[in-house]
Each structure stands twice: as C-alpha cells, then as structure tokens.
Structure 1
Amino acid sequence: MEKIIIIVPYFGSLPSNFNMFLRSCGKNENVDFILVTDQDIQSQYLNIEIYRMEFETFKSIIQQSFNFQIALESPYKLCDYKPTYGKVLQKWLQGYDFWGYCDIDMIFGRIDHFVSDEILSECDQIYHHGHFTLYRNNKINNDRFMSDKGLDYRKVFTSNKIYFFDEQIMPEKFDLLRVPRYKGKDFIDINPWRFRLIDVFEKNTRFFKSQTTLFEWDEGELFKWMLDIDGKFVKTEYLYIHFQKREMIDQTNNEDHVLITTKGLLPRQSKIDKQLFLELDENNFFGDIKKRFDKQKFILNRRIKRYILK
C-alpha cells in the first residue's frame, strides 16, 4: 500500500466520541495521522502525532503560502482551506504518496480494506464528501485548487462566507480538468435529522423501513448489522461511520468490541441477535420531533454564516 498521511486540524472542545475516533485511527497502523489542536491530547499510537498549537498559529501557517490577505476568522471556515494542505503543509508531507483530511465526529474501520492499490494507482482524488478525502501528493495535484476551472479560489479565500470548497468545488474542478477521482460510497453518513441511525444514502432502498439498524466496531473493523423486513440479518463492512451533528456518548473502556447505537457507544457484552436489536435501537417519536426542531435551527444558522457574513 502507498504511504498515506491524514491531517486533522481541530480547535475547541472535543466531541464525546473522540477517544473512540483516536482508537480507530490507531488501528490503521499503515496510515499516519497528524492531529493539529489547541487541546491537551496524548497519543499512545505510533502512527498518530499531536501538533499542539493555537488556531491563530495554524492560520498564520496557511497565510504564508498566499500573497494576499486570507479570510479565516474561525475554525469553521477551515472546510474551505482543506484542499490547500498539500501546498501549505508540504513540509509535513515529505515522503508520502497521498495526503488527506478527515473529520473527528466519526469512527474508522479498516482504510486498507477499501482504499486499494488499484484505486491509489488510478486516481488523484479519493472520496470527496469532506469527512474523509485523499489527494495524490505531487505538485501538479497539490496546486489544482488554484485551477481557473470552476470557482476562483481567491474569491473563496478572501471572504468569510462558507463555500464548502472541499466537498463541492474541488470535485467540480477535478471533473472539469478530467482528472480521475474515486467516487465510491464505502461509508455510512448518519442522517442528523432522524432519531434512529439511518444512512442518508439509504432512502428508498429495501432496507429503509427495516425493523432496526446496528453498527459494530470489531477490533478495528466496522460493520453495519440490519434486520431486514423479512426478519433476516444482513452484515456489511464499511470504511467509516460519520455521526454528523450527533453526540455519541462513549460508555466503553477501550474494549475491542463496541456497539454504535442510539444510546451511544456501548461495549458489546453478548452476541448480536433480535433481542439485542430491540433493546438498543428503538423508534422514538419525541426524539424525531426534537430532530426536526434542530434541523430548522441549523438551517437558519447555516444561512447566516453562508450568505450574510462577508
């Protein structure tokens, strides 16, 4: 497998699932991670380095690569700067074939079970949804965010408006440039506006109205268990699960078998069967009502950040 490094800047209070996120990174021994943060974090994993710095220091590092004043007033705006890391953080990426970034409100399975040698040899961008993306580490590819194809990066970097440059603009640029990229859907992106743990990509499929869904992290591998409408178990492996605006309280104690449920992260203490499903993942009418309210509040705040801030 090619050498891969993932850059993870995060500033502010850590989410409840952070220790589990860190453990899942540590289980991917053949992928390196750099976590840039203002929090006091210790890593016991050889493949994870912690770079302790304030947000303003990280901002100044990015600024050094541009001859105009960038707009970067808060960590939220970093989503627009993620595609620049190959250029602005190049001294951290020496010796790596691919670099990338990811969110921390997620848990990895095995990256090498999905990012194959064939995909790495053929594609210059791998995935594009923002929670996890990889880029080939060479000058041509690292400079593609500055291409005149698509939206001008200078417009994005001189405005406090959020453009979602990482997950919307960069895929468009790669397609306009006719650069090969991998568009696979190997991950779970949890719908933030439903009480149950439902993948946003599963609408209108056979399993959307299934009795229940459960996720399991098993010694570094991630699985989705489903009890379908015929009462049969279906078990599928995935690259990662992204919680997306959902707090996941970690009730584990470094166990190797973890259940990911509406009740949070729980140690798996018995075999997975129908009774366990019913205990851990039930429908909740009032929970769905609250989620709908949260959605309207989020939309309002997002419009303020995206369209009013200049």
Structure 2
Amino acid sequence: MIQRTKIALIMPYFGNFPNYFALWECSASKNRDIDFLVFTNYPRENSYKNIIYIQCEFHEIKKRIEREIGFPPMLTNAYKIVDYKPLYGCIFHEYLKDYSHWGYCDSDVIFGDLSKFLTDARLNTYDRIYQHGHLCIYKNEHNINYRWKTEHNLISYNYKEVFKVKGVKMFDERGGMWDIWKENQWSQYLNDKEFADILPTKHEFTTSWNSNPMCFHYQSGHLYKYKNGINKTELAYLHLQKRKMEVQITNHDDFFIKPNLFCSTIDASPISITQIKQPIRPNKLKRIVNICFNFDEIRFHIKVAFRRFVMYIKGENRHIKYELY
C-alpha cells in the first residue's frame, strides 16, 4: 500500500525578494499538497495557506548551524547559505515533525504541477528526488537527514572543509553531496529533463540537455515548454538562474515566459537561435580576486589540493560520473 506523503520545502531568504516573486508565490500556492516555509527578515503579506513566512534574522540561521556542526560556521553573507542546504532537515527539525519529506528550493523558480512528478509512489521509493539546489527533496528520516556528515575519500569537499571558508563551494551539489550520494549508492531519482534549468551564459532559454531555444507557458498551475514554437511538453518547474526579468503582466495565472520577459502573449513563430556569448560576469571576477587575496581561501585550496594529491598517490582519487536519465 502506498503511504500518503507530505512535503515541506524550506527557503531562507534575506533582503528584497526578486521583482517577479509574486509569480513564485502564485505558482507555489497551486501546489496545495506542499508547504513552503520561508525564513526571512523581510516583512511580506501572505494570502496563501501553504506559504508560511517565518520571521527570522540572518544571525539566527548562523546559530542554528553552529549548534549542529559544533563549531562557528564561516557564514558572512546570505549567498553562502547554499552550502548549508543539506543541513535543513537537521537545523529546522522542529518545523518538520508533521512532514514525511523535506527539501529546499530557490526564489528564482516558477513551479508547475509538482504532484505529477513528486508522486506518492516515487516519494516512497527513493530517499532523495532530484539533486540540484533549486529543488531537492529528501525523506524525513534521521539517518537520511545526517548524510551530509558522511566521511569520504572523494575528490569533492567534505563538510568540515566547506564550512570553514567564506567562499561558496556548492556543497549542496557537485561540491559534495552529488559524490557522497553516488559513492554510497543511496537511492535517488534523477531526471534533469523533467525541469528546465536555464543556462545564464546565453540570452536564449537553453539548458545543458537542450541547446534549442525554448519559451514557456504558465497556465493555471501547469508549466509547459515550447521548443521552436512547437513540441509542447509539461515540466515540473523552470529555474531562471541569474536572470533579470521584466514583468509585463497583471494576470498571474496565465502568462508566457521568454528571454528576460514575462508577457501575456507570444509569437508562435520559431525563436531566434542567435546566441549571445556573454563576457565573464563581474561578480565571478570579484570572487576570483577575493580568493587570490584571502588567506583562508588560499589555505583551503592548498589543503584540499594536498588531500587530493595524497589520494592520487594512494590510487584513491576519483570523481563520480553521473547517469542522470
């Protein structure tokens, strides 16, 4: 017998929300079987029952993490929180007592009908569904919630290394959890074709698995992808990473999404495939400069390089290759 499941998606957010956050709220609210717990210091009125805003200051998150890991975390800005996402099941445990599953999501997402993809059968079968920071779901079980502490001899980072430096190391993804999960052969469901993770380096909407320009249609809780104006496919969600979007709509229940624009109508003709190659982003250049002049970062990379060199000498240095589909 398939057990009924209940999911809580956690999202700490500090500062002003994106200009299209009302669309995030609308798309989240349609997924009535999922509760969205938003920890924030920014007051916001809420009219949706399944979106719960919890007043929280940044230093409170830091204290929760310190109590869990046993030493002061290097957490000086809100973006660094991404490295601590795998800990949410532990540091927010008192909010998760009534849920069979928990997970995390981002604010630059438009959700479709998640129930078509996060079925009870799938949730009961796998310990984890998806693996990206923009949406990832775990079974709410003690041993699963603490898998981020797993010791390993992999090329990726371990939590003690990551939590002692300022720079973001993507521990929630390829910087740690991907390898840890794969190495231990824990059950997980991966299919990057069920959502659209838009590449930020091109003007057109493309993904790592689809180089053909796409546009999207959100309609009454469902998200559809169109490739070259045709080939309609329903998706779980759309991730608009590092995109500045313009909002030209008033109806939040029916709209189109094309490069850098939310609009009420869209031309059905094929989208231009002219690719705009963007130069290195200033924020990325800033991170590189900070690493070069930050002693903690230099020490971190030397330490990790030495550990990997020792592993190489011992024949233990390996990187996990993924079969996503």
TM norm structure 2: 0.82
SS class of match (2:223): strand
Q: Which residue of 1 aligns with 2:200?
A: 192
Residue 176 of structure 1: which of 176, 179, 183 is its match?
183
Residue 250 of structure 1: which of 244, 247, 250 is its match?
247
Counting only pairs closer than 5 Å after superposition, residues 76-155 of structure 1 correspond to structure 2 as 76-149=79-152, 150=154, 151-155=157-161
Q: Which residue of 1 aligns with 2:215?
A: 214
Give the deviation of 1:305 after TM superposition.
5.5
Conserved? CA contact 2:110–2:239, under 8 Å: yes
Between Structure 1 and Structure 2, how many residues are aligned? Answer: 287
Whole-Å Cα distance in 2 between the matches of residues 307 and 134 of structure 1? 36
SS class of match (1:112): helix
Residue 166 of structure 1: which of 169, 172, 188 is its match?
172
**Letter paired with 2:258:** T
SS class of match (1:167): coil
Q: Which residue of 2 aligns with 1:236?
A: 233
Whole-Å Cα distance in 1 between the matches of residues 87 and 197 of structure 2? 24
Conserved? CA contact 1:162–1:306, under 8 Å: no
Q: Which runs of 5+ in 1 are unaligned?
A: none
Give the deviation of 1:189 after TM superposition.
1.1
Conserved? CA contact 1:80–1:166, under 8 Å: yes
Deviations 1:232-279 (A, max 9, x none): x210010110111111122222442110012511124xxx6xxx1359
Whole-Å Cα distance in 2 between the matches of residues 126 and 221 of structure 1? 20
Conserved? CA contact 1:216–1:260, under 8 Å: yes
Taking a change above 3 Å as real, the CA distance of residues 284 and 226 of structure 1, as seen in their structure-2 partners, is closer
Comparing 114-123 and 43-52, the one that deviates more:
114-123
Whole-Å Cα distance in 2 between the matches of residues 255 and 97 of structure 1? 30
Whole-Å Cα distance in 2 between the matches of residues 51 and 10 of structure 1? 10
Whole-Å Cα distance in 2 between the matches of residues 59 and 94 of structure 1? 22
Taking a change above 3 Å as real, the CA distance of residues 124 and 263 of structure 1, as seen in their structure-2 partners, is closer
SS class of match (1:28): coil
1:29 lines up with 2:32 in the alignment? yes
Taking a change above 3 Å as real, the CA distance of residues 84 and 306 of structure 1, as seen in their structure-2 partners, is farther
Q: Which residue of 2 aligns with 1:277?
A: 268
Conserved? CA contact 1:195–1:283, under 8 Å: no
Whole-Å Cα distance in 1 between the matches of residues 39 and 13 of structure 2? 6
Deviations 1:161-197 (A, max 9, x none): 3211101111211112221111111110112121122
Whole-Å Cα distance in 2 between the matches of residues 255 and 19 of structure 1? 8
Whole-Å Cα distance in 2 between the matches of residues 260 and 122 of structure 1? 34
**Letter paired with 2:246:** I
Taking a change above 3 Å as real, the CA distance of residues 161 and 213 of structure 1, as seen in their structure-2 partners, is closer
Q: Which runs of 5+ in 2 are unaligned?
A: 297-325
Conserved? CA contact 2:244–2:260, under 8 Å: no
Deviations 1:74-127 (A, max 9, x none): 111111100001111100111111100011111000111111223212211111
Residue 5 of structure 1: which of 3, 8, 18 is its match?
8
TM norm structure 1: 0.86
